Amino acid sequence: VADGMSVNQRHDPDRELFGQGVANIAAPLFGGVPATAAIARTAVNVRSGASSRLAAITHALVLAGIVYLAAPLVERIPLAALAGVLLATAVRMVEVGSVRAMVRATRSDGVVLVLTAVVTLTVDLVVAVLVGMLVAGALALASLARNASLDQEELARHLPPGDHTEEERALLAKHIVAYRIDGPLFFAAAHRFLLELSEVADVRVVILRMARVSTIDATGAQVLGDAVDRLQARGITVMMSGLRPGQLRPLESLGTLPRLREAGCVFETTPEAIQAALTMLHHAGVIPSSLRSAEAAPQGAAMLSSPGHQAPAPGKA
C-alpha cells in the first residue's frame, strides 16, 4: 500500500520482515510485546512526505515521550476525538478514483473489493486479506476455465486445394472430425471437455489438435484419457497432433500417450494425422482410393514416437 501511494519508491519486503522478526525476538527479553507495522501510521507518513527511516525513528521517540511523560494528559482525550483522528486517517488512505475503477472494471474485482471491505469491518484485516485472496483465486480459475474451449474444425482447410471434390470432402467430414482445444486443460475445465468429447457423433476418426493447449495438469490429462477411452470403446479411432513438450509428461505418466503411440495415432501436424486417417479408412474399405492424397508423407516419419520405437500402421489402431 505504501509503495502504491508513493512515486518511484519501493521498499524491500524481505528486509522489512527480517527487521521486524529480530525486533520481536528481542522485545520480550526486555518485557516488551510483539509489534508489527501499522498501515494507518504508514499511510500518514507517506501522505506527509516521509521518505527515510528518520520518520519511523521520530515517530518512535515522540510516542515514547508521550507514554512516559504525557500519559496523564493523553488519558483525558475523549475516545470520540481519537476515533475522529482515525476516521480522518482512513479517509485519506482511500483513493476514491481507484475504488471506482476497480468496481467498474469487472464484476469479479467488485466482488473481491466489497467482500474484503466487509470482512475487514466485521472481523479483522488479516482474515479479510486471506478471504480476498482465496475468492480472487477462485474467480481467476473460473475465468480461465471459461476461456478454455473445444471447437470443431473444417477438414478442408488442412487439405491441399483442388485435391478433392465437394462430394469427396463431404464424405471425409462424415467419417473424420477434428477438434481444436484452446486454453488450459486443468481440473476446473477438464470435466466440461469430457462431456463435449463424449457427445461426438458417430464418426470413424477423431483428431485432437493440441497445439493451442497452454497448460495441462494431472486432472486434465486423466479426463482426456477417459474421453479417449470412451471414444475408443465406441469403435472410434482417436489421433492427436501438435503436442508440445510441456504436455508430454502428464499424458505419458497417466498412460494416455503411450497407448496412442502404440496405435500409431500421434502426429506432429494435423495434415499428417488426416492423411493417416485417410489411409486407415481406405484399408478398412470405408472410402475409395481416390480420396487418398498421393503426396501423403510416410506414416512413421510423422509420429512422435520414443527413440527406437516402431509404431504400427494406423490401420491397426
Same domain for 162 and 81, yes or no, is no
CA dihedral of 60, 62, 67, 69, whole degrees rounded to 10: 140
Please give the pLDDT value at position 185: 80
> Among 263, 172, 248, which residue's Cα sits nearest to residue 213?
248
253 close to 221: Cβ distance less than 8 angstroms? yes
Of 30, 59, 94, the one marking the end of a domain is 94
pLDDT digits 0-9 by tens, 289-298: 655 543 444 4
Same domain for 277 and 167, yes or no, is yes
Query: What is the domain extent for residue 222?
Result: 149-316
Same domain for 209 and 290, yes or no, is yes
Contact residues for 146 (Cβ-Cβ < 8 A; gap 6+): 189
Same domain for 178 and 51, yes or no, is no
- Three-state SS for 164? coil
Same domain for 89 and 227, yes or no, is no
Of 107, 125, 147, the one marking the end of a domain is 147
Of 125, 147, 169, the one marking the end of a domain is 147
Number of domains in the chain: 3
Same domain for 124 and 170, yes or no, is no
pLDDT digits 0-9 by tens, 207-231: 888 888 888 888 888 888 888 888 8
Same domain for 83 and 186, yes or no, is no
**Across-strand partners of 240?**
208, 266
pLDDT digits 0-9 by tens, 15-46: 888 989 999 999 999 998 888 877 777 877 88
pLDDT digits 0-9 by tens, 39-93: 777 877 887 888 788 988 898 899 899 989 998 888 899 999 999 988 887 787 7
At 36, list the grid cell.
508489527
CB atoms within 10 A of CB 250: 21
Same domain for 65 and 112, yes or no, is no
pTM, full prediction: 0.58
Give residue 96's pLDDT band: very low, low, confident or very high (50, 70, 90).
Answer: confident
Same domain for 78 and 116, yes or no, is no
108 close to 73: Cβ distance less than 8 angstroms? no
At 136, list the grid cell.
480472487
Higher pLDDT pick, 306 / 183:
183
